[in-house]
Amino acid sequence: MTQNNQNLGITANELNEDLAQQKPLLLFDLRLQSDFEKSHIDGSVHAVCDAQSKEKIMTKIPKNTKIVLISDPEDFSKETASMMSSLGLDSHYLTGGFSSWAGKTTTGPTGKTISPDNLAKQLDDVFLLDVRNTDEFSEFQIPGSKNIPLGELFDAKTLSQIPKDKQVVTICPHGNRAMVASFALERAGIASQTLEGGLAGWNQVLKPVSIVNDATKIIQVQKVGKGCLSHIVASDGKAMVIDPLYPFEKYIDIAKERGFKITKVFDTHQHADHVSAARDLAKSTGAELYLSKYEGYDYDANFIGDADKISFGAANLRVIHTPGHTPGSLSFVVDEKYVFTGDILFVESIGRPDLRDNAEEFTEDLYNTLHEKLLKLSDNTMVFPTHHGEDVKSENDAFYSTIQQSKKLPWLDISKQEFVRKVVAITRPRPMNYRKIITVNKGELELVHSEIPDLEIGPNRCAVDAS
């Protein structure tokens, strides 16, 4: 029922009383973020009131939850309260705006947040509360998280599912819905932190793990939210990076911390599931960029192929053409001890053709690559792939295996005919946004860096979810 604006106003005194009595209400401050941070009513949350929040947040708030909006002057909150009221919400506004408030105020940003990097460090010690809808959650989530959609958080029975002895972290696609969730929890006496940037931010966390620390050093840099792996290989203070990911600045930080200079950057193949940071990393470090000569790129690089040799520091890299995932895929053998296999050979399985259109032809290539090239390397060669599956256990926090272990993987002891039949029969969903990602990686489309987290948020529909 549409209410008259007149009835929606609530005075500072009335609000003060409601807060003192701890009545359940949501207090949204619609002023500029900077004004909010200077001073805001204790317990209020900063809210941006645009079309997206209208659709994504307001529709999740139960109709019987009292909402008080604050602006300065009151006009905008009055209008918004009226609009929300017409949607059936119990919305009000502070008469006289923020200036009329004489009660308790506080400074700083809304609520408590946790950065994705910090969450990665304490993942095992927190209660991950994902407040997206069930359908969004079922497609993609941080392993171990519990799903309680925002709308259900206003129900006392639901709240009993949240443990009291753990730090609660609220999660949504971009941090807005989760902020409201944290606020709802706070009102119910449960302290929580909101994951900054939501799942899009989470997908950009890069975690370095040192694996080999001999004359040649290998650091695996993991994109924890997506299971992508990249590697820094260093020798004599010179480092090369294989399959770098965004945000590429992280590699520069890691190299600086350890006293390496990044001099070469490689991609094993044209990736379809994430935006390659190879070009930007090479550009910003002045390193040489190396790409497969069997693939088309719209920009300059050193194009390399089978049997090419490249040295850096005291180490040597040998290129093998290993088609099968893509026709132009390369693998890199370093010091005849380590092989970087891209998406051809993983810890837990073999790679699969990336493009279904020529699956049969690709699968034959894949068989030949595995049997005639990679598995011919010495048994103790360490294998470093570009991805890992969700169920794969890490070893000392990293994901790698050996050629000897790889030989025991399923489907490597069957005939070529049977292998092709089995691999071609596999259908799996394409990575979200893969077409756009490929055009970006080819250099046909320039991207603003801020677009990358959303482009990579898959495999889910969150990519277009602005909440």
Positions in the binding site for Fe ion (CB under 5 A): 271, 343
Q: With respect to Fe ion, which residue has the nearer C-beta, 187 or 269?
A: 269
**Polymer length of the chain:** 467
- State how far the Cα of 366 lies from the Cα of 460, in Å rounded to an integer: 28
- State the helix-helix crossing angle for 416-425 and 359-368, rounded to 10 degrees: 130
Cβ atoms within 10 Å of 36's Cβ, excluding its own: 22
Task: Given the residues 49, 172, 228, 462, select the one marked as catalytic.
Answer: 172
Look up residue 334 and give its two tokens: 């370093």
CA torsion sign for 327, 328, 329, 334 is positive
Nearest to 351 by CA among 253, 277, 419: 419
Q: With respect to Fe ion, which residue has the nearer C-beta, 81 or 423?
A: 423
Least gap, CB of 385 to Fe ion (angstroms): 10
Least gap, CB of 454 to Fe ion (angstroms): 20
Q: With respect to Fe ion, which residue has the nearer C-beta, 70 or 437?
A: 437
427-444 burial by CB neighbour count: b if 16+ within 10 A, else e? eeeebbbbebbbebbebe
Catalytic residue at 172?
yes
Least gap, CB of 67 to Fe ion (angstroms): 46
Q: With respect to Fe ion, which residue has the nearer C-beta, 169 or 330?
A: 330
Q: With respect to Fe ion, which residue has the nearer C-beta, 250 or 269?
A: 269
Which residue in the shown chain puts its C-beta closest to Fe ion?
Answer: 343
- State how far the Cα of 117 lies from the Cα of 172, in Å rounded to an integer: 16
Place of tokens 């911390």: 257
Main-chain dihedrals φ then ψ at residue 285, nearest 5 degrees: -105, -10
Cβ atoms within 10 Å of 71's Cβ, excluding its own: 23
Least gap, CB of 271 to Fe ion (angstroms): 5
Least gap, CB of 59 to Fe ion (angstroms): 38
- State how far the Cα of 177 lies from the Cα of 179, in Å rounded to an integer: 5
| Omega within 30 of 0 (cis) for the link into 247 | yes
Q: With respect to Fe ion, which residue has the nearer C-beta, 343 or 365?
A: 343
End-to-end C-alpha distance for the chain, whole angstroms: 27
Strands 216-223 and 315-321, bridge-based pairing: unpaired
Least gap, CB of 174 to Fe ion (angstroms): 26
Q: With respect to Fe ion, which residue has the nearer C-beta, 197 or 353?
A: 353
Least gap, CB of 424 to Fe ion (angstroms): 18
Look up residue 438 and give its two tokens: 């490929």
| Omega within 30 of 0 (cis) for the link into 73 | yes
Residues 459/139, Cβ–Cβ less than 8 Å = yes
Which residue numbers are catalytic?
A: 172
